[in-house]
Amino acid sequence: MGKLKMVLLACLLLPVLALGLEPPTDLKLADAPNDDGSIIIITWKPSVSESEPGFAGYNIERSEFPSDSFAMIAWVPKGTDVHEDNTIETMGKSYYYRIAAVTRDSAIALSAIAGPVATTQSWFHAGKLNTLIGTVLFIAITLLYIFWARRGNLFIRRIAGLDAVEEAVGRATEMGKPILYCNGIGWIDSISTVASLNILGQISKKVAEYDTPLLVPTADPVVHAVAREMVKEGYNSAGRPDLFKEDSVYFITSDQMGYAAALAGIMSREKPATNFFMGYYAAESLVLAESGAATGAIQIAGTDQISQLPFFITACDYTLIGEELYAASAYLSKEPLLVGSLKGQDACKLLIILFVLAGTIAAIIFRSDLIYNMFTIQ
Amino acid sequence: MKKNVPMAIVFVLGVFFIIQFFIPSRPSQMIFNKAIEWDMVIFVFASVIAVDSLVRHHIIKINRKNKGWGYSIVYLGAALFMVLAAVFSGTREGSFYMKIFNYALAPMQSTMFAILAFYMASASYRAFRAKSTEATMLLISAFIVMIGLIPQGAAVWSGFPKLSEWLMLVPNMAAKRGITFGIGLGITATSLKIILGIERNWMGGQ
């Protein structure tokens, strides 16, 4: 019986002995910084047997006890020397780790046990310090310009797409045709959708003044609820609440291509004189813009989706590029406070350009990445 | 009251979540996740209003015999059919509802997506007409990029793929980053204006 045990043990150890499998060494544990106390970082020196044929990777094992009850929590392939264990549930509890080098034949070589290590939660994300400084600086500059805007008029450059709004609304009035306003497929938590709703508020006032029919099909229930209230308020602000029609703002579908198909249908049937495409758009942008172009409508688009901008530029008469979408509300209302914030944005942009230039000079002439590191997001 | 309460809620929550962004601790993450759950609750309530608006819109169209009112009948019928299918057959894989979804709705979505190819061709035709210096530059660069991405391009001249890559990684990327800077600042400024109550259009501009 004893001999049989010896033979079995020898059989089990044979692959290990044949391969001369070495375990990983220098196992180190650290509590991850800037987290909620749920991550432990494990680093190790890879096994010298990694280059041997048949070497597969490492089993990472964890235990709450220093010498037994180890359970595998992850497997990583060879060539890896760091692993983040993000399965820690109890903060402050001590954990022990060991790593097993594993071959394809299931032979293993265990490292020394490391530990104990316990996690703590951070109350400030030090890696976001540059973001915090940038945010505070941006807010300060914007507020400063808003304060200056109270004193007098600030000049803002002309935006052709927004200058054309008045003309587009007027054209629809003359033709006796409706205006189609699309908010895109974004949810209400997308800032471009919020910006689009702000523009809708301004346009609905103009539409009410001209008594032009307005169609606002929406793709999101929350956006629909907000859009309806904004259009209603727009009519009220213009002193024409009687002209507001409940069914002018209506929900279609949250389905991307369903929304595109419905709008294409509306365009071909209703033949709006003016189409506005403002907000968040994805692949449906070209379907909408081309369908609108085929009907001969004036089209004004605006989005912050860089991948969709070429389609809008190609198929629309005017396109608000990126930040112009966010500037639209201030531009249309001419409200000093809003214009002030625009000037604040421009000042911050100048600051960024100066940093880009400084970073370029530092990198090329001084071979320094100091400026680059200042903007690294951790 | 009607205006001040929503503005106060926006200000308090806006400032709170700016601060929360810099605090990775568990209570902070828990509050953030809870807020996301509340988003879904709001979504459900808004869905009721949205569906009501949708049905009402089509019923009005049918009643008034507006242009294309027949489509409204088809729409309402299809919507009701799908609801009944989901109620009586369930929404599990293999159910009648899922069969309609997989064999009717999904192909229709794919068809709409496929139409993009035709629109791209017509849009390209418009974009690549050399009517000005800029349009000519666009045409030439687009030609280089496209020819550099196909095997035949490299067969004609081995420099095409590299030139194509350079166009995408240097001038194209520079323009993209410029736009991205503006977008980032625009998003931050818009958020700030809403939080501080400077931008009130979402409340009808009052």
Report residue A309's pLDDT band, with 50, 70 and 90 as the boundaries.
Answer: very high
B204·A229 Cβ contact <8 A:
yes
- pTM of this structure: 0.80
Residues A125-174 have pLDDT tens digits of 988 898 899 889 988 998 888 888 877 667 778 888 888 888 899 999 99
* Set of chain B residues whose Cβ sits within 8 Å of the Cβ of A91: 26
Residues A316-354 have pLDDT tens digits of 999 999 889 988 888 887 788 888 888 888 898 899 899
Choose from B20, B29, B108, B183 for mutation: most chain A CBs within 10 A.
B183
Report residue A31's pLDDT band, with 50, 70 and 90 as the boundaries.
Answer: very high
Give the B window 71-90 contacts with A, CB below 8 Å. Answer: 71
Flag residues of chain B having pLDDT under 50.
none
Report residue A216's pLDDT band, with 50, 70 and 90 as the boundaries.
Answer: very high
Contact of A17 with chain B, judged by CB distance below 8 Å, is answered with no
Give the A window 175-214 contacts with B, CB below 8 Å. Answer: 189, 191-192, 194-195, 197-198, 201-202, 205
A-B CB pairs within 8 A amount to 200
A197·B179 Cβ contact <8 A:
no
Residues A36-69 have pLDDT tens digits of 889 999 999 999 988 888 899 999 999 999 888 8
In whole angstroms, how far apart are CA A192 and each of A197, A323, B38, B81, B89?
9, 10, 21, 35, 39
Report residue A378's pLDDT band, with 50, 70 and 90 as the boundaries.
Answer: low
What percentage of chain A has pLDDT greater than the value 70?
94
What pLDDT score does A14 carry? 44
Distance, in angstroms, between A30 CA and closest chain B CA? 17
What pLDDT score does A6 carry? 54
What pLDDT score does A344 carry? 87
B53·A315 Cβ contact <8 A:
no
Selecting from B115, B182, B193 the residue whose C-beta is nearest the C-beta of A338 gives: B193
Average predicted confidence (pLDDT) for chain A:
87
B42·A326 Cβ contact <8 A:
no
Lowest average pLDDT, out of A72-86, A180-194, A332-346, B146-160, goes to A332-346
What pLDDT score does B113 carry? 87
* Set of chain B residues whose Cβ sits within 8 Å of the Cβ of A216: none
Contact of A378 with chain B, judged by CB distance below 8 Å, is answered with no
Closest CA to A250 of A266, A236, A235: A266
Choose from B108, B190, B192, B195 for mutation: most chain A CBs within 10 A.
B190
Closest CA to A281 of B42, B104, B116, B189: B116
What pLDDT score does A142 carry? 86
